[in-house]
Amino acid sequence: MTAADARGGDQPLGYDVAVEPGPEFLRITFTGEFSVPRTLRAFDTVAGEAARHAASKVLLDARGVVGIPSESQQYEVGRYVAAHVPFKLALVEHPARRSYFGEWVATSGGANVRLFTEEARAIAWLVRTGSDSEKTAPPDGDRP
């Protein structure tokens, strides 16, 4: 899928998008310049793709997104994720943007989402099963 395919209404998504269905989870990759409106539309695209592929688990690779969101932007995105992401989501971010505030906001609002800087750890958490593992991540050496 290209950014031209991922349009919300008449507004382009603004990120380049790659969607890769897999046997255990749906992988979506975004690249481009960060902005809150783009990111909210991006999460709408993620939700739409998850529904289209009947995926209950999504790995979202945002390491190619340029820019560092402020705490107020993380708050806005975290609240949006809590309200619009009804599936298990592992978000892989670039270490320079590592901040767990947006994750905290989203999980406080009921989302089953975790932020990672290492893809292998994100996948390990994403594919784990069992009620005890749903909202807890494996030990992550880069967590504060």
Query: Of 140, 142, 143, 133, which is closest to residue 57 (Cα–Cα)?
Result: 133
For 37-87, the pLDDT digits (tens) are 999 999 999 999 999 999 999 999 999 999 999 999 999 999 999 999 999
For 44-72, b/e burial (b = at least 16 CB within 10 A) is bbbbebbeebebebbbbbbbebeeebeee
40-43 long-range contacts, Cβ below 8 Å, gap at least 24? 40/76, 40/77, 40/80, 41/8, 41/11, 41/13, 41/14, 42/6, 42/13, 42/14, 42/15, 42/17, 43/77, 43/80, 43/81, 43/84, 43/85
For domain 7-127, give the CATH superfamily.
STAS domain (3.30.750.24)
For range 12-25, the mean pLDDT: 88
The fraction of the chain above a pLDDT of 70, given in percent, is 81
Amino acid at 58: V
d(CA 114, CA 87): 12
pLDDT greater than 70 at residue 135: no
pLDDT greater than 50 at residue 27: yes
